[in-house]
C-alpha cells in the first residue's frame, strides 16, 4: 500500500502499485459502448482485468471516486488512494465466485482490491478463511500476502458510487465487464455466492447472458437461498447471502455462523 503526501486523483497504471493489472498502454473505455467492445474482445482474464481497472465510462462515478481519493478520510490522510475501478480478483480457475455490489469509497477505492480495507471485508475474509477459501483471515491492502483459494470475487459495479447506490445506467454500463469475466471462469465454477440483492440480480442477469438457463420469474433473493442451475459443464449452485455490511452485522441480521454456513456450502459444492 502506497503512502505519502502526493495528492493524486488516481494511481496511474503501471507505476508500481501491488497487483496493478494495467499499464500505460491498456485501452481505456470512455463510454458504455466502449465497455462492451473492450470487454467482449478481451482474450483472457489478465487483459480483461487490466481494461476493467482503467475504465472511465461513467462520469459521475469517475468524479466521485477521484474526489474521494483526493480528499481522503482523516484516518487515511497520509495514504495514496487507488482511485480507479476495482478489477476482479482471485484465482483464474475458481470453483467459487463471489459477487458483490461495488467497492467502498474508503475500502477498495483506497486499497485497490475488492472487499479490502473496510469492515465488510473484515467479516468476509474472516469467514472465507474459516471455510478454507482464503489464505489469511484479514485483507488490509494490496500486497499483504492474502490469496483466495479456489475462489474469485468481483463487484457488479467496479467503481465506488456515492452513498453506495449506483444508478441503473451505471449498472448497465458496467455489466459487460461482469458478463465477460463470468464467461471466462464459468467452465470451472461449482458455486456462485451473491452478497446482497444487488449481487443476486447482477449474477442472474450475467449467467443468463452466458447461456445458463435461469428460471422465470427470477427467484427472489434471500439469505441462504439456494438455486440449482445447469451450466454447460454441469451443475452450478447459486447461493444468496446478506451483505456483510455494518448495517447487517451490527444489528445481528447477519452473524458469523450464518455467513460461514453459506460460504461452506459454496466451498463444498
What is the percent of the chain where pLDDT is above 90? Answer: 95
Question: Model confidence at 269, in pLDDT bands (50, 70, 90)?
Answer: very high
Mean pLDDT confidence for 242-268? 97
- The answer to whether the CB of 48 falls within 8 A of the CB of 181 is yes
Q: Is the pLDDT of residue 3 over 50?
A: no
Which is nearest to 201 in space by CA: 100, 108, 94? 100
Summarize pLDDT for 224-252 with one digit per residue, the tens.
999 999 888 889 999 999 999 999 999 99
Query: Mean pLDDT, to the nearest integer, of 65-69?
Result: 96
| The residue count for the chain | 269
Give the β-pairing of 234-241 and 226-231: antiparallel
Please classify residue 262 by burial: count the beta carbons closer than 10 Å to its beta carbon, then call 0-12 exposed, 13-18 middle and 19+ buried: buried
Q: What is the pLDDT of residue 2?
A: 45
> pLDDT at position 49, please?
98
| pLDDT for res 242 | 98
Q: In what order do the strands lie in the sheet with 151-155?
A: 89-90, 151-155, 96-100, 191-195, 234-241, 226-231
pLDDT at 7: 64
Residue 161 in grid coordinates: 458510487
pLDDT above 70 as % of the chain: 97
Average pLDDT, rounded, for the chain:
95
* pLDDT number for residue 1: 44
pLDDT digits 0-9 by tens, 178-222: 999 999 999 999 999 999 999 999 999 999 999 999 999 999 999
Say yes or no to pLDDT of 168 above 80.
yes
Per-residue pLDDT reduced to its tens digit, 68-78: 999 999 999 99
With 0-12 CB in 10 A as exposed, 13-18 as middle and 19+ as buried, what is 201? middle
Per-residue pLDDT for 22 more than 80?
yes
With a cut of 90, say whether residue 93 has pLDDT above it: yes
Amino acid at each position: 500500500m502506497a503512502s505519502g503526501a502526493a495528492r493524486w486523483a488516481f494511481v496511474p497504471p503501471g507505476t508500481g502499485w501491488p497487483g496493478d493489472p494495467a499499464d500505460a498502454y491498456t485501452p481505456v473505455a470512455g463510454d458504455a459502448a466502449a465497455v462492451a467492445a473492450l470487454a467482449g474482445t478481451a482474450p483472457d482474464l489478465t487483459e480483461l482485468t487490466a481494461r476493467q481497472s482503467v475504465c472511465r465510462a461513467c462520469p459521475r462515478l469517475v468524479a466521485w471516486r477521484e474526489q474521494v481519493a483526493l480528499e481522503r478520510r482523516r484516518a487515511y490522510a497520509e495514504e495514496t488512494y487507488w482511485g480507479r475501478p476495482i478489477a476482479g480478483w482471485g484465482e483464474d480457475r475458481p470453483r467459487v465466485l463471489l459477487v458483490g455490489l461495488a467497492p467502498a469509497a474508503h475500502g477498495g477505492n483506497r486499497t485497490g482490491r475488492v472487499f479490502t480495507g473496510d469492515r465488510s471485508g473484515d467479516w468476509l475474509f474472516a469467514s472465507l478463511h474459516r471455510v478454507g477459501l482464503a489464505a489469511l483471515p484479514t485483507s488490509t491492502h494490496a500486497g499483504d500476502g492474502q490469496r483466495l483459494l479456489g475462489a474469485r470475487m468481483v463487484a457488479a459495479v467496479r467503481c465506488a458510487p456515492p452513498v453506495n447506490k449506483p444508478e441503473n445506467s451505471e449498472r448497465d454500463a458496467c455489466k459487460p465487464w461482469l458478463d465477460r469475466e463470468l464467461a471466462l471462469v464459468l467452465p470451472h465454477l461449482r458455486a456462485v455466492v451473491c452478497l446482497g440483492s444487488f449481487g443476486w440480480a447482477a449474477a442472474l442477469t450475467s449467467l443468463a447472458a452466458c447461456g445458463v438457463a435461469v428460471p422465470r420469474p427470477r427467484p427472489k433473493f434471500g439469505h441462504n437461498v439456494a438455486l440449482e442451475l445447469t451450466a454447460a459443464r454441469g451443475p452450478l449452485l447459486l447461493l444468496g447471502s446478506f451483505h456483510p455490511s455494518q448495517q447487517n452485522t451490527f444489528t445481528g441480521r447477519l452473524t458469523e455462523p450464518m455467513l460461514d454456513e453459506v460460504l461452506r456450502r459454496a466451498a463444498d459444492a
